[in-house]
Amino acid sequence: MPKKEIIDMLNRALEMEHQAFVQYLSHAELVEGLNSEPIIAGLKEIANDEKGHQEKIKELVGSYLGGVPSMGIA
């Protein structure tokens, strides 16, 4: 598989991770009511996991493959 194709696929994955990150944080902002704190904390924890995935993919694209990581959202 050509390197450009690999970079394109990883950038698509990066965009999906970014979308998930934004989605979980947005949902955390909308939760309210009794006992909402654990739900908000859980959503923020998942968002942080997604952020970690983004960092790994950005490193693969930029450092290892010499590409430019995408800043888009899927």
25: exposed, middle or buried (C-beta count within 10 Å: 0-12, 13-18, 19+)? middle
Output the CA torsion sign for 15, 17, 20, 25: negative
Give me the long-range contacts of 68-71 (CB less than 8 A, separation at least 24).
Answer: 69/11, 69/14, 70/11, 70/12, 70/14, 70/15, 71/18
Give the whole-angstrom CA distance, residue 41 versus residue 29: 11
0.85 surpassed by pTM: yes
Q: What is the pLDDT of residue 68?
A: 98
Write the pLDDT tens digit of every residue in 31-74.
999 999 999 999 999 999 999 999 999 999 999 999 999 999 98
Q: Where are the domains of the chain?
A: 3-62
